[in-house]
Copies of this chain bind each other. A is one copy, B any other.
Amino acid sequence: MGSPNGGAHDVACGRGAGVDDFRYRCVIMEELAREALASIHVGLTCHDDIVGPYLRDLCTDEQRKRWLPGVAGGEIITAMGMTEPDALIHLMERLPRERLALAYFAQTVAEHALAWTVEYTRTRKAFGAPLASLQNIRSKLAEMATEIDVTRTFVDAAVLALNDGELSATDAAKAKWWASDMQIRVIDTCVQLHGGYGYMMEYPIARVWQDARIQTIYGGANEIMKEIIGRELAAGG
Residues in chain A within 8 A of chain B (CB atoms)? 118, 121-122, 130, 132-139, 141-143, 145-147, 149-151, 153-154, 156-157, 171, 174, 177-178, 191-192, 195-196, 198-199, 209-210, 213-214, 216-218, 221-223, 225-231, 233-234, 236
- Smallest beta-carbon distance A117→chain B, Å: 10
- A233: which of B145, B151, B214 is its contact (CB, 8 Å)? B145
Name the residue among A142, A149, A178, A222 with the largest chain B CB count within 10 angstroms.
A142
B residues near A195, Cβ cutoff 8 Å: 217, 221
What are 22 A-B pairs at a CB distance below 8 A?
A118-B233, A132-B233, A136-B223, A138-B227, A141-B229, A142-B225, A142-B229, A142-B233, A145-B229, A145-B233, A146-B174, A146-B229, A149-B154, A153-B154, A153-B156, A153-B157, A192-B216, A192-B221, A196-B217, A196-B218, A199-B214, A199-B217
